[in-house]
A and B are shown apart, each in its own frame.
Chain A
């Protein structure tokens, strides 16, 4: 399955049905067992040629999006974000709502009608509405009842010098690379955990970590690149195009020191372009794994993504390839 298809499938945290189904179908012929656990995670297991060592690769299936709360009397849908979305990227965007894929747009008051204060003020979600063309509250909620999930409706496009722009690159890129990793059988036993609800607090990974007896967890992620425009260079933690990002630490966990050094040494040895995350911002499933059950060694390999958590996240394809190459090199040497 191509990255494009994975990105265009929908799966806001709590509504991962569509993406889960697709991943199950892909994983089934390649693994010894593929199960859905109590949280809704897809847990695929592939027995090793030698066994003895058990490692786990993790990527989250869910993406940020929206959930319908209510509608106004004149048929405009009220909504809230699911996961961290800056309301500033929502104005004037296309969305689809629910399994019926109802089309909508997020409008805001025209510039002509705004006061000087309005122009400066960030429109909070309280002042943003999805317009599906409905004429009344009943019509709007009939089509899209409260609790229906909504999605950025965007294209997947290749552009520039090997870049791609799409919704949900975080973390379909990790899902894509895991589906590729499982095409090979390694010496060690490998669990591939495609987890739910990362964007609302790494809840899927907490359950998956509890149930797994893997000793080492490698999290494949997308992380914020602030390498374009005006971001303060001190705060910009990685650059698109400079290779897979290896984290020594982030907002949710500190990488296992030995594992982190092994990983960087492996990237050096295999000549895989890589960069060390220059800071500890962001948090991901590694935090949940590290603290689950009796505790697990973790390390995070990320693909730098610009404008993450919006309709148009951007990454360089070569970084994705390097994430794959390093993850594969790690799996091959795990004994």
Chain B
């Protein structure tokens, strides 16, 4: 499957943390042509193996997405929402959302009290989950039949192609990086690799990397390669925490293994892939943090795809950066061999 087609389809699927089955099944299928074995774990992570005789490597990017759950049905039929992961309520007013109800997917509109009916002081505040609701256009008695407390609610999803190969859609965090893994797996079909490769699309990252932790335990890898998104430059955002949108980023800091980072920089240089560097003095807030601590530790490297407007329905990335990520990953994995183990602490 072509990358943009894969992204178009996979980003439209629901996969709010804790309920990732639909996304997991789709991703498992997409990896099948390029893997020797594919499985879905009990928590809904997808593991696709490309066999090799060298070191065992776990490459991971998460497939879950931030979203919401129905927490209450009000007397007027409106729904109150509970956020799952870091949802910014500022993006919600006027958004069309999908409510994954009992037997059907319902479209709802996120409503709020109109500004001219608010006190002047309240107009200066953002809407919050307490003051927003979902309007299904149904009376409460009908809503009660179709929607249950705990049902998932997903952002509106469109795949918008902007100028210069930039694309805006939901859940690029982190299915954009799942797409990078898929691209690398496709490329590796025609490349030599010694390493025993496990591409893992992890679940439950948004609430604490539980998918990476458990898949890591199951696989017990020698090395870890974690993929996630990072912040691209936007107006007003602090420069220290942002990168240019047009190329991938690797991180340096105590949680990332210096030898693996060095080899990654070498692979980028050899293959003419642009690679930015970001410094993470402590947490990276990605699967890398937990993967690197599985069992008695996994030397891990982190690669990030810069993204504007993270955790919204208009997450925006550069398709060229994503494609280059697939190329870099394939070359990096292809270069890994048993000698790396010897060199780790030299």
**Which A residues are closer than 8 A to B by beta carbons?**
72, 74, 76, 86, 88-89, 91-94, 103-114, 119-123, 127, 129, 131-135, 139, 143, 154-155, 157, 159-163, 165, 224, 226-232, 235-236, 281-282, 306-308, 310-312, 314, 316
Q: Which of B85-93, B255-263, B293-301 contacts A (4 or more CB under 8 A)?
A: B85-93
> With a CB–CB cut-off of 8 A, which chain A residues contact B126?
88, 119-122
Q: List 14 A-B contacts (CB under 8 A).
A: A72-B235, A74-B235, A88-B126, A104-B162, A108-B309, A112-B231, A119-B88, A122-B125, A132-B162, A143-B163, A229-B112, A229-B131, A229-B133, A229-B135
Stretch at the interface among B2-10, B213-221, B310-318, B331-339: B310-318
- Contacts A109-B236, A227-B76: A312 and B114 contacting too (C-beta < 8 A)? no
B13 at the binding interface (Cβ < 8 Å): no
**A312 in contact with B161 given A111-B88, A161-B142, A231-B117 (CB within 8 Å):** no
Beyond A91-B312, A105-B168: 6 further Cβ-contacts under 8 Å? A110-B88, A111-B88, A111-B311, A159-B108, A235-B117, A314-B111
Evaluate contact between B316 and A105: CB separation under 8 angstroms: yes
**A236 / chain B contacts, CB cutoff of 8 Å:** 117
Question: Which of the residues B106, B123, B127, B162 comes within 8 Å of A159, measured between beta carbons?
Answer: B106
Chain B residues within CB distance 8 Å of chain A: 74, 76-78, 86-88, 90-91, 93-96, 106-117, 123-127, 131, 133, 135-139, 142, 158, 160-166, 168, 231, 233-238, 241-242, 285, 308-314, 316
- Contact present for B116 and A281 (CB under 8 Å): yes
A20 to B88, CA, bound (A): 39
- Nearest A residue (CB) for B160: A103
Contact of A308 among B114, B127, B316 (CB under 8 A): B114
- Interchain CA distance A77-B106 in the complex, whole Å: 34
Which chain A positions have C-beta within 8 A of B237? 109-110, 113
- B318: min CB distance to chain A, Å: 9
Residues of B within 8 A of A281 (CB): 116
Q: Is the CB of B116 within 8 A of A224?
A: yes
- Return chain A residues, CB-CB under 8 Å to B131: 229-230
Q: Which of B126, B131, B163, B316 has the most chain A CB atoms inside 10 A of its CB? A: B163
Instruction: Evaluate whether A76 and B235 lie within 8 angstroms (CB atoms) in the complex, with A105-B309, A161-B142, A308-B114 already known.
Output: yes
